[in-house]
Structure 1
Amino acid sequence: MLINKNLVTLNLKAKTKEEAIKKLAELAQKEGKIASVDEYVKCVLEREKAYTTGVGNGIAIPHGKSKTVKEAVIVFGKTSDGIEWNSLDGKPVNLIFLLGVPEENVNNVHLKILSQLSRKLMNDNFVEILKRAITIEEILNALSDIRVS
């Protein structure tokens, strides 16, 4: 399973993208999805230097392939305080999807996850569901059809 209730936070307290990525990575570590928060965060921040993952509309999809990732994972964070992310539209981010995949990423799992998620995020109704969600179950239901198979 890519995401579960322990990989969702609706009250993310972070002032910077680095802090947000670290806090979400800590959730992944608690669930046994990654071995080292520091190593994984370093990998994700390297990707951020190459190009922003702030895709616009208040959404960011930071991600990274790393040997510290034990199995593919999606961690979702929502914050009421917008976080500066150098987004494509120049606006702050409130919805963050942290994706992690093992370095030996067979079958391009990260591309499959990114593709499915990106397709869903093009749907304004889907984005509204995420923005209005007040329970973890609402988030899990919205993301329930994202698969790696």
Structure 2
Amino acid sequence: MSQFVSEKSVFVNQNLESREALLRFVSDKAAEFGITDNADAVYDAFMAREAMGETGMTDGFAVPHAKSDDIKEAAVIVVKNDRALEWPSFDEKPVDVAIALLVPGGEAGTTHIKLLSKTAVLLMKDEFKNLVHGTDDAAAIADAINAGIDEE
């Protein structure tokens, strides 16, 4: 199994007050982890995508994604908030789990599509959604996402 998502990139019990604060948190973590040297550019990429339409899926999950030449390597950062946030979503319900995809601009048509489709498949599985909502074990969440990314 690949270790695309590491335990250190899964944040549980966060206390963020808005979608914007959550995306700023992810952008700052991307800079801290060396995924980017420009957290503001990553945040701007997230917000530009948010302006295009819903990244909120169903059942409290969102899949915000940023594509930018300022992103050095593809990454996934997961944030599980302590309360649901207003977030435009397909089921019009608030979001408490964001699986944020960060993709270099040059990989927008390849890595981005693969990650987005694999994540969408995971979010159709009740066992995955129940596991993420039911645990604060960052390693278990990372393992479940990695297993989903590895599936053919």
TM exceeds 0.5?
yes
TM-superposed CA distance for 1:2, in Å, is 2.9
What stretches of structure 2 of length at least 5 have no aligned partner?
Answer: none
Q: Which residue of 1 aligns with 2:140?
A: 138
In the TM superposition, structure 1's runs of 4+ consecutive aligned residues that sit over 6 Å from their partners are none
Greater relative contact order structure (CA < 8 Å, 6+ sep): 2
Q: Which residue of 1 aligns with 2:124?
A: 122
AA partner of residue 120 (structure 2): S
Q: Which residue of 2 aligns with 1:17?
A: 19
TM-score of the aligned structures, taking structure 1 as reference length: 0.93
Contact 2:4–2:75 (8 Å) recurs in 1: yes
TM-superposed CA distance for 1:126, in Å, is 0.8
TM-score of the aligned structures, taking structure 2 as reference length: 0.91
Structure 1 CA distance, aligned partners of 2:84 and 2:20?
A: 14
- Kindly report the root-mean-square deviation, in angstroms, between the aligned alpha carbons of the 2 structures: 1.3
Structure 2 CA distance, aligned partners of 1:128 and 1:19?
A: 25
Structure 1 CA distance, aligned partners of 2:20 and 2:4?
A: 22
Asked if residue 6 in structure 1 is aligned to residue 8 in structure 2, the reply is yes
**SS, match of residue 125 in structure 1:** helix
User: Which digits, 9 at most, give the CA deviation of each residue in 1:120-141, with x for residues without a partner?
Assistant: 1100111000001121111111
TM-superposed CA distance for 1:106, in Å, is 6.5
Assess, with a 3 A threshold, how the Cα gap between structure 1 residues 60 and 106 changes in structure 2: closer, same or farther: closer
**SS, match of residue 55 in structure 1:** coil
Q: Which residue of 2 aligns with 1:102?
A: 104
User: Which digits, 9 at most, give the CA deviation of each residue in 1:91-111, with x for residues without a partner?
Assistant: 110110110100111761000
Q: Which residue of 1 aligns with 2:52?
A: 50
What stretches of structure 1 of length at least 5 have no aligned partner?
Answer: none
Number of residue pairs aligned between Structure 1 and Structure 2 = 147
Contact 2:6–2:139 (8 Å) recurs in 1: no
**SS, match of residue 134 in structure 1:** coil
Assess, with a 3 A threshold, how the Cα gap between structure 1 residues 107 and 45 changes in structure 2: closer, same or farther: closer
Assess, with a 3 A threshold, how the Cα gap between structure 1 residues 62 and 106 changes in structure 2: closer, same or farther: closer
Bigger Cα displacement from structure 2, 28-37 vs 101-110: 101-110
Bigger Cα displacement from structure 2, 130-139 vs 68-77: 130-139
TM-superposed CA distance for 1:56, in Å, is 1.5
AA partner of residue 138 (structure 1): A
Structure 1 CA distance, aligned partners of 2:13 and 2:36?
A: 22
TM-superposed CA distance for 1:80, in Å, is 2.0
Contact 2:67–2:102 (8 Å) recurs in 1: yes
Q: Percent identical across equivalent pairs?
A: 28
